[in-house]
Structure 1
Amino acid sequence: MDRAELGAFLRSRRERIGPADVGLRAGPRRRTPGLRREEVAALAFISTEYYTRLEQARAPRPSREVLAGLARALRLSDAERDHLHRLADAPPIPAPGPPREVRRSVLDLVHRLPGAAVLVTSATLEVLAWNELAAALMEDFSALPRRDRNLARRVFLGPLTEGRRLYGVSDADAFARRAARRLRTAAVRYPDDPEVTGLIRELREGSEEFARLWAAHDVAAEPALTKTFRHPLVGSVTVDCDALEVTDRDQHVVIYTAVPGSPSEQALRLLSVIGTQRMTTPG
């Protein structure tokens, strides 16, 4: 426990909050910036003496209950709450499961890139959001039940597309390795989440490849720079692949773009017109 840093951190967070922020009256004689120590103590349901000793680096290690009360009283963000726990040598309790709600600003970004195929994936590679071009290039995710939107389940357990897995993408084997590594990270972050443990158990039992990759215990990143989709209507579509990390949600925004002026860019433009419909010839 770093008592000095803990005390300094608590003091800095206390001084940035005004009384009105927590429903208190400022009063005419307030000289202390932010909240008073006794006000924080009251909001956290601890004694003023103990809180004062915490700021002065003289108190014993606070319990998780005290840390939770301080985080609530000081209106700490998720990152600040984690930092508080680490300063107190009490690692935060893991989140119950991977966040599935996509922030509004991220959703807006997904739909503001009409020339790119964009999707958002969770820590377990569930497709959470997508734009129309991503659906046309890969699959109409809106027509699938939630469990079938998981790319890890799809790459290891199928189904196949024209004899190829994962939409006929050229780097399916490399993606499978990345998926196993990402799921191992998710298993550490969300050890008590039944969906995470259930997905891993399903893949280990249903896929010899996944069982082998899981046993390797690899966690190093393996970036994908380009890949080629084999699309049933427009043929091969080669795209650059960029992934932006949304750290506070443990999500990735995956962006597929084609080289300007290339046949693949023309194919994406055609897909943007076709959408998710399938053209057939009347019999």
Structure 2
Amino acid sequence: MNRDELAAFLRDRRARVAPAEVGLPSGERRRTPGLRRQEVAQLAGMSIDYYIRLEQGRGPHPSRQVLNALGRALMLTTDERAHLLRLAGQPMDTPRIREDIPDSLLHLISFMEEIPAYVLDARYDIRAWNPLASALMGDLDGQTPKERNVLRWVFMSPNIAEHLGDEEKGRFARASVADLRVAAGRYPDDKGLQALVTEMLGLSPHFAELWARHEVEVRREQRKRVNHPLVGPIDTICQVMPVPDRDDLRLVLYTTEPGSDSHRALRELRQLTLSS
């Protein structure tokens, strides 16, 4: 049970719930945003003293019933409820981040000749990719393993705004940090993941700001515009697909609307990779 993280998560989520969202009057004397501790306790059906101890990181080990009640009171999403259970040390699967990539997955991305595809692990390291993914994202073959980390790229690359644009970068950065929060709760003992978070907190104030929000959301489909230096802007649908039986890996695909300018630009990029 991670008492400090659990306490911080509860405090943050309480501040995000407006009284009107749970049927309570807003009132005029509220000095802080969100719900009061007493209101959360009442909505969850527990004593105020018990809830205060949880928020102060000195409470007892909460049961699943208590956590479910808190999830309802704080209007948590499915991803946030799963994160809450992990922080509280509830019995769940304890997967680990492995170093191997299934051969079947490597074969799959190699056959995707017209779709940029790569394999991403829970530490945001790109572990395998096809030629079109390398052409789209910028010579993955010539990068070191450390450079092939999406979080380092998003927060530390000097040309990221040229590649994605400021607004696109902001959305992608926020979604990536929220997704990394999920991984940190799922793999609490992974030293590589802990080292990455520590590194990014020390190097990027923007990452530190987003990490302090305690946002939790698994990355799924996301639309993204990529500004490519050779073929121009490509509007893509970035699909993040879990790999069966491997919670630590995801298959990331960049598709486009059939027949669109972006589709033609992606085909042009493929031709350039074949001729180079």
TM-score by length of 1: 0.60
Tell me if structure 1 keeps the 8 A contact 2:200–2:207: yes
User: Could you say which residue in structure 2 is the equivalent of 1:253?
Assistant: 251
Task: Measure how far apart 1:224 and its partner are.
Answer: 3.9
Deviation digits for residues 175-208 of structure 1 (CA, Å, limit 9, x no counterpart) = 1112212222222232232211111011111111
Cα separation, partners in 2 of 1:181 and 1:247, compared to 1, 3 Å:
farther
Tell me if structure 2 keeps the 8 A contact 1:236–1:264: yes
User: Could you say which residue in structure 2 is the equivalent of 1:233?
Assistant: 230
1:180 alignment partner, SS class? helix
**Identity percentage of aligned residues:** 35
Q: Which residue, out of 175, 179, 183, partners 1:186?
A: 183
The AA in structure 2 aligned to 1:272 is R
Worse overlay, 228-237 or 185-194: 185-194
Cα separation, partners in 2 of 1:184 and 1:154, compared to 1, 3 Å:
same
User: Could you say which residue in structure 2 is the equivalent of 1:135?
Assistant: 134
Tell me if structure 2 keeps the 8 A contact 1:139–1:276: no
Deviation digits for residues 3-29 of structure 1 (CA, Å, limit 9, x no counterpart) = xxxxxxxxxxxxxxxxxxxxxxxxxxx
Task: Measure how far apart 1:94 and its partner are.
Answer: 4.2
Tell me if structure 2 keeps the 8 A contact 1:225–1:242: yes
2:236 alignment partner, SS class? strand
User: Could you say which residue in structure 2 is the equivalent of 1:111?
Assistant: 110
Partners of 1:111 and 1:160 in 2: CA distance: 28
Deviation digits for residues 213-249 of structure 1 (CA, Å, limit 9, x no counterpart) = 1111111246443211000111101112212101532
Partners of 1:189 and 1:221 in 2: CA distance: 11
User: Could you say which residue in structure 1 is the equivalent of 2:164?
Assistant: 168
User: Could you say which residue in structure 2 is the equivalent of 1:217?
Assistant: 214
Cα separation, partners in 2 of 1:188 and 1:222, compared to 1, 3 Å:
closer
User: Could you say which residue in structure 2 is the equivalent of 1:265?
Assistant: 263
Tell me, which stretches of 5 or more residues in structure 1 are unaligned?
1-88, 279-283
1:274 aligns with 2:244: no
Deviation digits for residues 243-274 of structure 1 (CA, Å, limit 9, x no counterpart) = 21015322111111122211111111111121
Whose radius of gyration is greater, 1 or 2?
1
Equivalent residues, number: 186
Tell me if structure 2 keeps the 8 A contact 1:136–1:276: no
The AA in structure 1 aligned to 2:107 is D
Task: Measure how far apart 1:277 and its partner are.
Answer: 8.6
After TM superposition, list the pairs within 5 Å mapping 1:47-126 onto structure 2. Answer: 91=91, 94-95=94-95, 97-126=96-125
Partners of 1:127 and 1:98 in 2: CA distance: 13
User: Could you say which residue in structure 2 is the equivalent of 1:74?
Assistant: none
Partners of 1:192 and 1:234 in 2: CA distance: 43
